Structure 1
């Protein structure tokens, strides 16, 4: 188990485009394990490699159905629309409303080197879009049509 430091908004690495993974080796497998450990420790549902300072096209996601490690993921199809709140481990204490597709079909390579096509809806679809944005240097606040202050969030909870 290794926990990596999560980069916070303002760190220039979060705005850079990640590179394709050319070979799945021990370094990539360790990266995925460390990302999963870091994501779970931080109570997140997704983490992209740039969030721990690694400019590789790798994400981990767990929306309650088990860990998924995605290498070189791409969205093949999207449809519908959902509008709702998002947060981010790299933007602690912030929340914003973001429009995302209700459905996405994505293709990626899993840690075993197999090509996988996954269909996702609702939170899973939102999470895929959010994490893949990180791979291109895009943060959710760039897409948010409303950002909430801490006071507004506190009032919503009451």
Structure 2
């Protein structure tokens, strides 16, 4: 894991630092960072993993409301409204709760509709320039990435059928 500020996982950790991770990590890595200012988030998380410590801080009802209200449009950016929650933690909790990211103006992204996905699948045989004409409201990059996702999905499905 690459870490910043010269804090590499291989640097020596004192027993006192390890004990702080063991006893305080359940309150979240941000809490441990306040107690260990010379350690980065990455090295604290690395040490917690090495020690087998997990952060099991429960989500409050207020946090869940913020997640349900903000995640569909903001995605993991809603983590900025949730103290001590990482984008990855937000993504995991949203998945657990069945909350789906739908894109939005804030992110500059708009999810592909089912109809667009079906049109793309029907016309995947076209050269890229022709395919672009079918999606005039989509950027080149959006169409390119959607096609890559479709082909990856089709390849995985073929591998599952063959295996």
Shared fold, TM over 0.5: no
Structure with the largest fraction of helix: 2
Structure ID, larger Rg: 2
TM-score, normalization: structure 2?
Answer: 0.25
TM-score, normalization: structure 1?
Answer: 0.26
Question: Which structure exhibits the higher relative contact order, with contacts defined as CA atoms closer than 8 Å and separated by 6 or more residues?
Answer: 1
Structure with the largest fraction of strand: 1
